[in-house]
Homo-oligomer: A and B are copies of this chain.
Amino acid sequence: MPKPPSKRLLSALSGEALWPPPVWLMRQAGRYLPEYRAVRARAGGFVALCTTPELAAEVTLQPVRRFGMDGAILFSDILILPWALGYDLDFREGEGPVLPPLQDRAAVDRLDPACMGERVAPVLETVRRVRRALGEDAPETALIGFAGAPWTVACYMVEGRGTKEFASPRRMAHAEPALFGALIERLTAATVEYLAAQADAGAEALMLFDSWAGLLPPRLFAEHVVGPARRIRAVLRERCPGVPVIGFPRLAGLGAVAYAEATGVDAVALDTGADLAQIGPMLPARVATQGNLDPMALVAGGDALAAGARDVLAGARGRAHVFNLGHGVVPETPPEHVAELVRLVRGAG
């Protein structure tokens, strides 16, 4: 499917400094929307929602309909990948994801690419449905596929749940480098397949979420964050040429510069703490940026939202930039604040 010239998100990712910048938001489909909560209640469970194409496509499209976003991101979860490799996954109310903590080589060897095809089939069907629906109803909105990056997915697998510190994977990366390296390698190979399949199904851009990239010291950051992203990007360049990749090495600070230089990603997403005006000029000129309004400014609304949006826009001026948050939309966000943000960005003078 050739890219229509009118998709502003894809133009920005290809390096065009558009003004105003295109806009979409991480977790723009989610609990803050009443229409999402209604579908979620029907789905039974979170994994069921992610793997029922009719429902997953519907929630993917909701924020596009409501706000006219320039990007629609596939509704899914980063832990669908290990689940697709046969790893147990449960989402518990108020607790988040729960997995069996990975402790040995046997558990790595049991990760089974052979079962992946069947398990990701409904995700790919969701991609096809969304792409078709966008073509009919929102031809200027680009569809973004995504995966968790190997380090961040490994964090949840080794720890068994989300925590503040992810002590177990960090300890394993230091103390059991062969075991941890095997896990990262297995996840890297599966991530390539998963993302390439999303592109084949119709995703027009791909995003790699490394939410916990900033927890690693420089040596391990190079090994487990930069290395896998570089390998994934390189293979995708062969397998689905022309599909841009956005990398999100969250909390990496200055490491985002090394990441942008070494991985070959088309865009680097910046987290809330990054000062775009300061780090932007340090990035390679060929790399676009994305981000990075504080999700809490969106919760607050009013003057805080206006000031926060103004700061991001000022930093983005003259750059190939995609307006976004520095982290996902939180459940307590008033939907009307999202509408106001889109108005602010679109009206940027």
Contact = CB atoms under 8 A, between A and B. Distances in A.
A256 to B, nearest CB: 8
Most B CB contacts (10 A, CB to CB) among A215, A218, A292, A308 go to A218
Given A174-B294, A174-B299, A174-B300, A251 B251 contact: yes
A170 interface: yes
Given A214-B251, A217-B308, A253-B252, A171 B296 contact: yes
Interface string A252-277: 11111010000000000000111101
Contacts of A163: 164
Contacts of A162: 164
B308 A273 contact: no
Contacts of A340: none
A61 to B, nearest CB: 28
Interface string A150-162: 0000000000001
A307 interface: yes
Copies, count: 2
B308 A174 contact: yes
A16 interface: no
Most buried by B among A221, A275, A277, A297: A275
Contacts of A173: 296
A70 to B, nearest CB: 22
Contact of A300 (B175, B253, B292, B293): B175
Given A170-B294, A174-B294, A273 B330 contact: no
Nearest to A273: B214
Interface in A288-310: 292-294, 296-297, 299-302, 304-305, 307-308
B330 A167 contact: yes
B251 A254 contact: no
Contact of A297 (B164, B217, B273, B311): B217
Interface string A227-268: 000000000000000000000000111111010000000000
Nearest to A177: B304
A172 to B, nearest CB: 9
Interface of A: 162-164, 167, 170-171, 173-175, 177, 214-221, 251-256, 258, 272-275, 277-279, 292-294, 296-297, 299-302, 304-305, 307-308, 311, 326, 330, 332
6 contacts: A171-B299, A177-B304, A217-B311, A218-B273, A218-B277, A258-B278
